Amino acid sequence: MRISSRPVYFAIAAAGFGLPAIGLVYFQKVLYLLPCPMCVMQRIAFLLAGALALAAALHNPGRTGRRVYSGLIGLAALGGLGVALRQLYLIHFPPPFSFECGVSPEEKLLNALPLAKWWPGMFQAIGDCTEVAWTFLTVSIPGWAAIFLAAILAAALWTASRKN
């Protein structure tokens, strides 16, 4: 059975838009967890991958276009995956210094971006990157982000490598 690239792109777009929405609605509005700078960078990676996947699904490109779209989606997912893995590293091996009494440089940079001013609830970085405030099946939020970003990366690579 052959699977068209279009449903794969729509699934990536659903994950790319749905997961940050869950973060905003459930984690921020229900559990009152504040996003840290690395969480915001992961949200941006999810949204970028989702936007590219939606464009690819609507465009329904040929083989070369599919490779270009999939490559860009893969780069967005890889960037977010790198941030998620770095955050997991910091959780398990916290640095000796901390910015608990002040604002971190990453926080200043992200909060100065137009996105943070346009939609502060979604893109304003406030929380601590090394704090684990929620887990599901013993996996923290950055762990789940890494799993989903790796799945998006795998789907993008699979779509790019298809012949038809």
Q: Which two tokens stand for residue 114?
A: 């137009």
CA-closest candidate to residue 48, choices 159, 161, 152, 154: 152
Model pLDDT for residues 5-48, shown as the tens digit of each residue: 888 999 999 999 998 998 888 888 888 787 888 888 898 899 99
Model pLDDT for residues 49-106, shown as the tens digit of each residue: 999 999 999 988 888 888 999 999 999 999 999 989 988 888 888 777 655 434 455 6
Return the number of other C-beta atoms located less than 10 Å from residue 9's C-beta.
Answer: 28
Is 5:162 a contact under the CB 8 Å cutoff?
A: yes
Task: List domains and CATH numbers for the chain.
Answer: 5-161 (1.20.1550.10)
Distance CA(82)–CA(49), nearest Å, equals: 14
**pTM over 0.85, yes/no:** no
pLDDT score of 72: 95
CA-closest candidate to residue 160, choices 76, 89, 62, 82: 62
Averaged pLDDT for residues 112-126: 63
pLDDT score of 102: 43
Torsion (CA) 99, 101, 105, 106 in degrees, nearest 10:
70
Averaged pLDDT for residues 148-156: 94
Task: Please give the full DSSP string across 123-153, using - where no structure is assigned.
Answer: H---S-TT----EETTEEHHHHHHHHHHHHH
